[in-house]
Amino acid sequence: MEYFTIAEIAETTFTEKRSEFLGYLAPVRTNDEAVAWINEIKAGHRKAKHHVYAYILRDSNITRYSDDGEPQGTAGVPVLDVLQKRGLTDVCCVVVRYFGGILLGGGGLVRAYSHSAAITCDAANILHMCECCPLILRMDYTLYGKVTHVLPKYGVIEVTSEFGSDVYLELNVRLEVLDALQKELTELSGGRIRMECGAQQFADFSSVG
């Protein structure tokens, strides 16, 4: 199991026919967090004419959006569509519009809100979250070179390493390759590598090619 989300808040702004569009994208995990983020943005832009939003949560598969006064289907749905096409979840995007006096029309609104959401997603630090297991390895120094040669093909994340009387490595290993990795490590070491698995969790694997 895997999903994509963001690491921290991203913000952008652009102007279309004198209307200013400010995009805000935040990581959220619950409906309450999403609502709190929307209210925070609204409070910071009380004079804005529209506060359009969309959010997607893994928890209970919640999806919400609002046009906030724009013609139906021209604002919230385009923002939501961008999030869905990017495959993002546990995120909330709010697009604030300061009306510039020139009507954009239905098509113009769809393009503007889509663009605001898209450039805000582009500005975000995307995380590739994969279900994994922490794997602790303890081994003799003579095995370390062989192990480091094997690990890259399994796309593991090295969390910590210590070099004392023996070598200690803590890795995050995706569940789908865990058994195969343990088997290969056991075979190459003749069972001399001590291995211990922790509790399953999600970790960011975006740095793994």
pLDDT tens, position by position, 62-104 = 999 999 999 999 999 999 999 999 999 999 999 999 999 899 9
| Ranges of residues in the chain whose predicted pLDDT is under 50 | none
The residue range of the domain holding 157 is: 130-204
The domain boundary residue, chosen from 74, 92, 124: 124
Same domain assignment for residues 135 and 173: yes
Same domain assignment for residues 40 and 8: yes
Same domain assignment for residues 15 and 97: yes
- What is the domain-level CATH number for residue 21? 3.30.230.30
Residue whose C-alpha is closest to residue 167's, from 154, 178, 183, 151: 151
Same domain assignment for residues 90 and 22: yes
In a domain, 145, yes or no: yes
Average pLDDT over the chain, rounded to whole? 96
pLDDT tens, position by position, 58-72 = 988 999 999 999 999
Same domain assignment for residues 69 and 150: no
Q: What is the 3-state secondary structure (H, E, C) of the chain?
A: CEEEEECCCEEEEEEECCEEEEEEEEECCCHHHHHHHHHHHHHHCCCCCEEEEEEECCHHHCEEEECCCCCCCCCHHHHHHHHHHCCECCEEEEEEEECCCCCCHHHHHHHHHHHHHHHHHHHCCEEEEEEEEEEEEEECHHHHHHHHHHHHHHCCEEEEEEECCCEEEEEEEEHHHHHHHHHHHHHHHCCCCEEEECCCEEEECCCCC
Same domain assignment for residues 115 and 183: no
- What is the domain-level CATH number for residue 152? 3.30.70.240
In a domain, 209, yes or no: no
Do 136 and 168 meet the contact criterion of CB atoms below 8 Å apart? yes
In angstroms, rounded to a whole number, what is the distance separating the alpha carbons of residues 182 and 100?
61
Give the pLDDT score at 42: 97
Give the pLDDT score at 1: 82
The domain boundary residue, chosen from 87, 104, 124: 124
Same domain assignment for residues 68 and 156: no
Same domain assignment for residues 85 and 14: yes
Q: How many domains does the chain have?
A: 2
Give the pLDDT score at 209: 62
